[in-house]
Amino acid sequence: MSMDTASLLDRLYQLRTRARTPEEQEALDVAADGLSFILSLGKLHAFEDYRERLGSNAAPVPLCSFDTREAAEAWLTAHPEPPHGAAVAVGGTLYTVAYVRQSGHRALLRLPMHGELDGDGSPES
């Protein structure tokens, strides 16, 4: 990060004092709480790596890898609370985890490969 974490949190709280609406205050509170949560998990470096990858066209780093779809599905079914949005690799192909806590719905959705997208980021026809 370009700012150290303490400075960033301090800046978020300073911005909160100048927020014009309760919605702006809540958004800044959520951002500060999210950063504090990441810190409490000891995942600041992983978050920094994630932010660096956001601006690039690099594929996401998979959370875990499986040889077969069946093994990935077994992991997804057994996981008490799958990490929604996480990437997993199945036989070298990337998938994203979909998990809806309220309904318990779980799915693995294949991520398109870079060459499968046209210039505007949409799937090619």
Query: Angle, to 10 degrees, between the axis of helix 44-54 and the axis of helix 22-40?
Result: 120
pLDDT score, position 5: 77
pLDDT score, position 107: 96
pLDDT score, position 125: 46
Tell me: the pLDDT tens digits for 2-54?
567 778 888 998 998 899 999 999 999 999 999 999 989 888 888 887 787 77
Q: Which residue has the higher pLDDT, 16 or 1?
A: 16
Tell me: the pLDDT tens digits for 50-81?
787 777 777 788 989 999 999 999 999 999 99
CB of 47 within 8 A of CB of 70? Answer: no
Tell me: the pLDDT tens digits for 80-122?
999 998 999 999 899 999 999 999 999 999 988 766 655 555 5
pTM of the model: 0.60
pLDDT score, position 108: 97
Q: What's the number of CA atoms in the CB half-sphere (13 Å) around residue 77? A: 6
